Amino acid sequence: MSSYFGRRLMNLLMTGLCAGAVVLALVPLVSVFWLLFAKGFSALSWSLFTSLPTPVGEAGGGVGNAILGTLLLVGLACLLGLPIGIGTGLFLAERGDGPAGDTVRFVTEVLSGVPSIVIGIVAYGLVVVPMHRFSAIAGAVALALLMVPTLARAAEEMIRLVPSSLREASLALGIPQWKTSIRVVLRTALGGIVTAILLAVSRAAGETAPLLFTSLNNQYWNTRIDQPTASLTVQIFNYAISPYEDWHQKAWASALVLLLFVSLMNLTSRFLARSPLRGA
Amino acid sequence: MLPEAKIGIGQQQAERRVPRTVNVGDAGYNALLWCFGGSILLIAGVLVYALWGTSRPAFRAASVLSFITGSNWDPVQESFGALPFIYGTLVTSAIALLVAVPIGIAFAIFLVEMAPSGLRPIVSFPLELLAAIPSVVYGLWGLFVMVPWLREFLEPALAGTLGFLPLFRGPPLGLGYLAGGLILAVMILPTVASISIEVLRTVPSTLREAALALGATRWEAIRLAILPYGRAGMLGAGLLGLGRALGETMAVTMVIGNSPEIHASLFAAGYSLPAVIANEFAEATGTVHTGVLAALALILFGITFLLNSVARLLVRAVTRGSVKAAA
Residue B20 pLDDT exceeds 70: no
How far is residue B305 from each of residues B68, B131, B220, B274, B300, measured CA to CA in Å? Answer: 19, 21, 37, 15, 8
- Put simply, the chain A residues between 204 and 233 with a CB less than 8 A from any chain B CB are 205-209, 212-213, 216, 233
- The answer to whether the beta carbons of residues A123 and A214 sit under 8 Å apart is yes
- One-character DSSP codes across A74-91: HHHHHHHHHHHHHHHHHH
| Residue B20 belongs to a domain | no
Residue B16 lies in a domain: no
Nearest CB to A114 within list B129, B141, B301: B301
**CA dihedral sign, ordered B221, B227, B229, B233:** positive
Give the burial class of A227: count Cβ atoms within 10 A of its Cβ; 0-12 exposed, 13-18 middle, 19 or more buried. Answer: middle
Residue A143, Cβ neighbours under 10 Å: how many? 33
Give the best residue of A8, A18, A157, A170 to mutate against chain B (max B CB count within 10 A).
Answer: A18
C-alpha separations of A48 from A32, A66, A247 in Å: 21, 10, 12
Which residues are bridge partners to B74 per DSSP? B79
Residues comprising chain A, all counted: 280
Q: Are B50 and A236 an interchain contact pair (Cβ–Cβ within 8 Å)?
A: no
B249-304 residue pLDDT tens? 999 999 999 999 899 899 999 999 999 999 999 888 788 889 999 999 999 999 99
| Residues A148-165, mean pLDDT to the nearest whole number | 93
**CB within 8 Å: A148 and B40:** yes
Q: Three-state SS for A219?
A: coil
> Are A145 and B47 in contact (CB < 8 Å)?
yes
* Residue-wise pLDDT tens digits, A176-225: 999 999 999 999 999 889 999 999 999 999 999 999 999 999 888 988 88
Q: DSSP readout, B244-290?
A: HHHH--HHHHHHS-------S-TTS----HHHHHHHHSTT--HHHHH
CATH number at residue B141: 1.10.3720.10
Measured between beta carbons, the chain A residues lying within 8 angstroms of B319 are: none
Amino acid at A58: E
* Domain of residue B265, residue span: 66-326
Flag whether B160 is in a domain: yes
A-interface mutation test, from B20, B133, B212, B258, most A Cβ less than 10 A away = B133
User: What is the predicted pLDDT for the residue at B2?
Assistant: 47
pLDDT of residue B169: 83
Q: Is the pLDDT of residue A157 over 70?
A: yes
Q: Residue B50's CB: how many other CB atoms inside 10 A? A: 21
CATH architecture under which domain A65-232 falls:
Orthogonal Bundle (1.10)
Average pLDDT rounded to a whole number, residues B237-254: 93
Which H or E element spans position A250?
helix A245-274
pLDDT at A124: 94
Q: Is residue A249 less than 8 Å (CB to CB) from chain B?
A: no
Nearest CA in chain B to A113: B308
Number of domains chain B is built from: 1
In a domain, B24, yes or no: no
Using a CB-CB cut-off of 8 Å, the residues of chain B touching A102 are none
Residue B47 domain-assigned? no
User: Does some domain include residue B77?
Assistant: yes
Asked if residue B1 is part of any domain, the answer here is: no
Instruction: Tell me how far CA of residue A208 lies from CA of A116, A212, B249, in angstroms.
Output: 9, 7, 9
Cβ separation A237–B136 shorter than 8 A: yes
The domain spans of chain A are: 65-232
What's the mean pLDDT in B149-175?
88
Residues of A in contact with B35 (CB under 8 A): 87
* Chain B CB within 8 Å of residue A238 CB: no
pTM score: 0.90
Average pLDDT on B115-144 reads 88
Q: What pLDDT score does B127 carry? A: 87
